[in-house]
Amino acid sequence: MQEQVVPKTPKTSSVLGFPIHLLDDYTGWLVNAVAQGKGCHVVTLNAEMTMQAEQNAALAQVIRQAELIIPDGAGVVLYLKVQGKRVQRCPGIELAESLLQQLAKLEERRSVFFYGGAPGVAQTAAELWQKQLPELTISTQHGYISGEEQQAFEQTLKTQLPPLILVGLGVPRQELWIADHRSLCPNAVWIGVGGSFDIWAGVKTRAPGWLRDNHLEWVYRLYQEPWRWRRMLALPKFVWRSLVYWLS
């Protein structure tokens, strides 16, 4: 793989006052961060997270302190395009998949940790990935652990020092957990991946490509999980807040 230079500071724009980084190749930036042991927290920003952050000061602080914030949601991408920014949506699950594939090509630093999901889900996801990419070593821990188990898990991270840690605890829990535990593996790349383990393990499915291409993945999520309708109210709130923000 051709060596690339990691930008010291990606170009930054903003969404409702929250920073967002604009890169042509997020995967390449992160592969080189892993290869060089440059620890960072990756936040996959979408409309729902932005609305939560406006009401959750701790989450807002974590977002602002993250080294890489990518445009995950369709609302965020549209917001930036209206501002005249050249931006392509980068779903967190696709970024994680691309990163795993590229890490398998490295000569070293190919260990990964999956943390989160129901018991057995992360393990199933890891087994499926290792069949595709036997070069990787993937360790797992489900997200339903007690206090004593948490201490043992944290010690495992400190011992293994995996260069890539994917955390699937949902927003905002995963972002807050990463911020509180980065010191365990300060040179690792940490990414909150939401329900990616469920999708990789076959517990859930992603929206068809034509819905994703037309920024309608949220419709499929609502179809799969109608109980999410209250959370989906963040989308019209985001549009309204965007209009107010632009006008002011």
Per-residue model confidence (pLDDT) at position 117: 96
Domain membership flag for residue 216: no
Partnered with residue 45 across adjacent β-strands are 71
114 neighbors 88 (Cβ within 8 angstroms): no
Per-residue model confidence (pLDDT) at position 134: 95
Domain membership flag for residue 147: yes
Domain membership flag for residue 192: yes
Domain count within the chain: 1
The residue behind tokens 């914030």 is 69
Amino acid at 164: L
Domain membership flag for residue 208: no
Residue 120, phi-psi category: left (phi > 0), alpha (psi -120 to 50), beta (remainder): left
Domain that holds residue 79: 11-200
Q: Each residue's pLDDT tens digit in the chain (248 positions)? A: 344 444 467 899 999 999 999 999 999 999 999 999 999 999 999 999 999 999 999 999 999 999 999 999 888 998 998 888 889 899 999 999 999 999 999 988 789 999 999 999 999 999 999 999 999 999 999 999 988 899 999 999 999 999 999 999 999 999 999 999 999 999 999 999 999 999 999 998 765 664 556 555 655 565 466 555 466 566 777 777 777 676 66
Domain membership flag for residue 183: yes
204 neighbors 175 (Cβ within 8 angstroms): no
38 neighbors 187 (Cβ within 8 angstroms): yes
Domain membership flag for residue 222: no
Domain membership flag for residue 143: yes
The CA-atom distances, in angstroms, between 84 and each of 16, 134, 231 are 15, 43, 28
Domain membership flag for residue 246: no
